[in-house]
Amino acid sequence: MATRKRTSTAPEKDSTKPSTLAPPVEKNLSAEVLAALDITDTSMNPPASLEGRDHELLKKLYDGVVKARAFEDRMHSMYRAGDLLGSYYSGNWHEAISVGTMAAMEERDYYCPLHRDVGGHLMRGMPPEQIMGSFMGKSIAPTGGRDGTLHYGRLDLNTYNPPSHIPANYPVATGMAFAAKYRGEDRVAVAICGDGSTSRADFHESVNIAGAMQLPAVFQVQNNQIAMGTKLSMQTNSGSFVIKAAAYGIPGIKCDGTDVIAVYDAMKEAIDRARSGGGPTIVEAVTMRMHGHAEHDGAEYVDPALKEEWGKRDPVELYEKRLIEAGVISEEEAAETREAARKWAIAARKIAITAPMPDPTNIEEGVYAD
């Protein structure tokens, strides 16, 4: 395997994080071996430094995670109030991943998100009421009400709809990356899946062909500890998912998915490499699924101790605390931002609730070719 010049970072001990939160990046492999394989692991490092960062970017990330959390909170209450046609798939504790990822992307890049990436959708410009309307089957949804759940995307925003059968978006992103390279376009395709998706053939087929053709793609795995009801130890015998990058001869980066700056740094490095012709990267972002697979799932199968540990790692609260301590924002500004986001989400709900249902006479529009 060709050796790249990029320096891999060995895992560092962090006394502020419980040692049981994440396993070593790979069983029985030293940091030197991982570096030779071009695998970087920052997931157990201290939070990424804010020193020298653009404050506008830091505030943009804060606004993103706060709005994502406000949206999630509103959707949980809407589910319990019976506003939604079906269930809801929470992105709690995923906010830092979706927001950090989108901040590292350009508008022209292709976005093939996971169903828990509300923060990315909102940052890309999708109105909150449009997402809410999708779960309500309303006419304001991107599908015009032809779907009543999470399958919302907008091609005008270069955003592909999250599929139910994950990672069915991986081959799509690979095709987009191929098209970009074939046409000579300056675009990168970012595909996102969960830990359970890495057991499927389309994951391996997509990463393999992207590596073989050095396509401008980034494959992100959101490791949230549980694939529906399957825990990590039943999913794989590997110590991580990022190690799979070595099998395809591409770099891998593992980062703390509760640290929005760490996610931004990892995705920026991977996206910049893809854009400059360096080929694809696997990025593993580690977090926890704090709700059931969906709201109808009580998640009784989750170890309470695991949930209690991760409960101390709220990505929104941790980032807010760091910004205040660094003097980037004041406590008053933080409170104002949170309150503004709460009112923003409530206003979006009112629009979605009062939006009309689809007109049945339009059922064939956009479905059948002439």
Active-site residue, 94 included? no
Please pick, among 121, 293, 313, 322, the residue that the annotation labels catalytic: 293
User: Virtual CA dihedral for 161, 165, 168, 169, nearest 10 degrees?
Assistant: 30
The residues facing 223 across adjacent strands are 286
Q: How far apart are CA 209 and CA 2, in angstroms?
A: 18
For residues 326 and 245, is the Cβ–Cβ distance under 8 A? Answer: no
Q: Per the structure block, which two tokens stand in for 163?
A: 């599929």
DSSP three-state, residue 223? strand
From the list 214, 195, 205, 213, the residue with the least C-alpha distance to 170 is 205
CA-to-CA distance for 243 and 255, rounded, in angstroms? 13
Return the exposure string of 205-241: e unless at least 16 CB atoms fall within 10 Å of the residue's CB, then b: ebbebbbeebbbbbbbbbbbbbbeeeebeebbeebbb
**Given CA atoms 237, 241, 245, 251 in this order, what sign does their dihedral have?**
negative
DSSP E strand stretches across 189-238: 189-194, 217-223, 226-227, 230-231
146 is a catalytic site residue: no
Structure tokens at 22: 């994440």
> Side chain identity at 326, as an amino acid letter?
A
Annotated active-site residue in 187, 289, 291, 349: 289
Rounded distance, CA 323 to CA 136, Å?
36
Nearest CA to 194 out of 73, 293, 64 is that of: 293
Q: Is 170 a catalytic residue?
A: no
Buried b (16+ CB within 10 A) or exposed e, 28-53: ebebeebbebbbbbbbbbebbebeee
Query: Which among 55, 80, 182, 301 is annotated as catalytic?
Result: 301
For the annotated catalytic residues, the residue numbers are 289, 293, 301
